[in-house]
Amino acid sequence: QQQVKQSPQSLIVQKGGISIINCAYENTAFDYFPWYQQFPGKGPALLIAIRPDVSEKKEGRFTISFNKSAKQFSLHIMDSQPGDSATYFCAAQGGSEKLVFGKGTKLTVNP
Amino acid sequence: DSGVTQTPKHLITATGQRVTLRCSPRSGDLSVYWYQQSLDQGLQFLIQYYNGEERAKGNILERFSAQQFPDLHSELNLSSLELGDSALYFCASSPLGRAWGEKLFFGSGTQLSVL
């Protein structure tokens, strides 16, 4: 049972475009939602995180939008750059659950 | 560089064999996590240790075991290996191992290939 469902599986955008990755969850006990970024040959690294008391969090070109009623959250990458090409994982944590990850989205930003 | 060291980077072995993966956490971090990454399942939580004690268990098979030593390094033991165990195994560490909201620092992983 996949506790966090992530889409799309892969995404190709042009340089300067907006990349959008979506995640949905079922467990209402989740109350911490981070995004991790993974480059080839490296482990995931925390990119940005949000708690459900806010609907949006922005850090530079990266924004998390959170919809508590729909149990969905998304990552927006504005002005996408080739250096953003990586695999992105959404995750969720709360209650007695350890951090659970989505299956990942491979983002390719073409120059 | 996350500060988490995993060895070896690659491991090739045969079915039925046993292997040991090693992880050194970031200096000062007390908690170690093991994750398995495969193409179809994504990142799956296996087990967490905190200061030498098992803290939480995830989808870890009975053929797998782990421990954390007094110097805080950890080892993941995989035995009676099957083809389906081929995956990338990550170790992560965190300062306190809180159940909620703590940043995890991942190593670069050990790629296990079972032939």
Among B42, B56, B109, whose Cβ lies nearest the Cβ of A101?
B42
pLDDT at A91 over 90: yes
**What is the rounded distance in angstroms from the CA atom of residue B96 to the CA atom of residue B98?**
6
In this structure, the number of other CB atoms found within 10 A of the CB of residue B93 comes to 27
Tell me the sheet residues that pair with B68: B74
pLDDT of residue A94: 83
Tell me the sheet residues that pair with A5: A24
- The tens digit of pLDDT for each residue in B9-25 reads 999 999 999 999 999 99
- The tens digit of pLDDT for each residue in A8-65 reads 999 999 999 999 999 999 988 898 999 999 999 899 999 999 998 899 999 999 999 9
Instruction: Kindly report whether the peptide bond that precedes residue A34 is cis, defined as omega within 30 degrees of 0.
Output: no
pLDDT of residue B54: 93
pLDDT of residue A52: 86
pLDDT at B100 over 80: no
Residue A1: band (very low, low, confident or very high) from pLDDT cuts 50, 70, 90? low
pLDDT of residue B99: 59
pLDDT at B110 over 90: yes
Residue B40: band (very low, low, confident or very high) from pLDDT cuts 50, 70, 90? confident
Instruction: Kindly report whether the peptide bond that precedes residue B95 is cis, defined as omega within 30 degrees of 0.
Output: no
Question: Cα dihedral angle (A62, B26, B2, B96), rounded to 10 degrees?
Answer: -10
- The tens digit of pLDDT for each residue in B44-81 reads 999 999 999 999 899 899 999 999 999 999 999 999 99
Residue position matching structure tokens 């009676």: B80
Task: Show residues of chain A in contact with B108, CB under 8 Å.
Answer: 41-43
Inter-chain residue contact A44 with B106, CB threshold 8 Å: yes
Inter-chain residue contact A31 with B100, CB threshold 8 Å: yes
* Chain A contact probe: residue of B104, B110, B111 with most A CBs at under 10 A: B104
